[in-house]
Every structure is written in structure tokens, then in C-alpha cells.
Amino acid sequence: MSEQKEKFSQRAGRFFKEIRMEMKKVIWPTKQQLINNTLVVFAACLFIGVVVWLADFGLGLIFSAVFGQ
């Protein structure tokens, strides 16, 4: 039983050690890059939302004209 616990603790220790090594390899964005990327995502979401809203509105007008509701 103690052998299994040792093996588990060794595996867990190696796992967290590898996590630390991988985190050192990550290239973290600068503050300005983070702000720019966030603004791009917000602008893209806004643009897609407007396109979907316009399509919904246009199709709604077409369906109401065709079906007379």
C-alpha cells in the first residue's frame, strides 16, 4: 500500500514540475496586445450581432409581406 502512495506522490510531483516547465515556455501578451485583442473581439461580436439582427429584421419583413401577418 505504501508503494502505491509513493508512486502516486512521485507522479503528482512530476506532473506539477512539468506544468511549471511548460508555463515558463508560454509567451504572455503585453498589456497593449491584450487590450488590442480584447477590442478586436468586442468589435467582431458587435459586427456579427448587427449582421444577424439585420438578417432577422429583413427576413421578418419578407415573411410578413408573403404571409400577410
pLDDT band at 3 (very low <50, low <70, confident <90, very high): low
Selection from 43, 41, 39, 23 nearest residue 31 by Cα: 39
Return the pLDDT at 68: 83
Residue 6 reports pLDDT greater than 80: no
Q: Cβ distance 23 to 31 under 8 Å?
A: no
53/32 Cα distance (integer angstroms)? 31
List pLDDT tens digits, range 16-51: 999 999 999 999 999 999 999 999 999 999 999 999
More confident residue, 52 or 2: 52
Q: What's the whole-model pTM score?
A: 0.61
- What are the residue ranges spanned by the domains of the chain? 2-67
Return the pLDDT at 53: 98
